[in-house]
Structure 1
Amino acid sequence: MPKLNTKKLKAFTLIEALLTLSVVTFLALTTSGSIKSIFNQVQTKLFFIEFEQVYRETQRLSASQGKQAVLRIGSNYVENPLGHYVIPNTIVPEKEQEIVFNKAGGNSSLAKVVFKTPGERVTYQLYLGSGQYQKKKD
């Protein structure tokens, strides 16, 4: 009688495969929360940089064209004559408002623009006439 080749196959058992799958799933779930948090922080910072740029470009537009320009802040958008910009879901303006820039590029109010984020309040105090602002975080 011929001898049968009795080699053992080395492979994962069902229990080992399930254990590996559960460890990988656990690691993926724990890192996804921190990744989402980091993404939200970056998105928030980018929005404030964009808002400041839109504010300045609205001011420049009114001064360069020699006519009034309006910056509108809605519940989920910021808008000027050049474009419409979406506010991320994690940022909420305290109120809807309009900032009017005169022909010289100055604004006509001492308005405060307040945005609420999950971790803080960001306030832009506008200066009368100059079109400048001061940013403060609470």
Structure 2
Amino acid sequence: MTDRSELESTVQTIYKARQDNDIDALMAFFDPACSFRIVGSDRLGSMTQTVDDSESLRIAMTRFMDNWDFSKLKTTSLHVDGDTVFAHRSGQVRFIPSDVWNNTEFIDKFTFKDGLVVDLAEFIDTLQVAETMGLVKS
């Protein structure tokens, strides 16, 4: 099991790399076989499909950086249970293509092994995201 303060620091550094749009710094924290998913209905298509290899993860993270501005999000709390970190985030996000801002909050669940993220699940308001992206009508 990794030290609690080390895990908390790593998660905050991951968020900093994401905010800075530094894909190489971000990817350095993920195991090559890391599994990533946004938890939600399969009806939302690729948005909620699991990716589980380094190349697919890099593509997914790059798309997030290209389309979503997380600069006004703050980490509200971090909870550590063994090698799992639950991060509660809140604030505003911007969908860059249409310059739409939304107030939101979500939970990220990071699972670590040997200092790297091996699983990341994001619990977000998928309806809000789908409406913002124009996938469903509001």
TM-score w.r.t. structure 2 length? 0.31
Higher RCO, Cα 8 Å, sep 6+: 2
Determine which structure has the larger strand proportion and give its number.
2
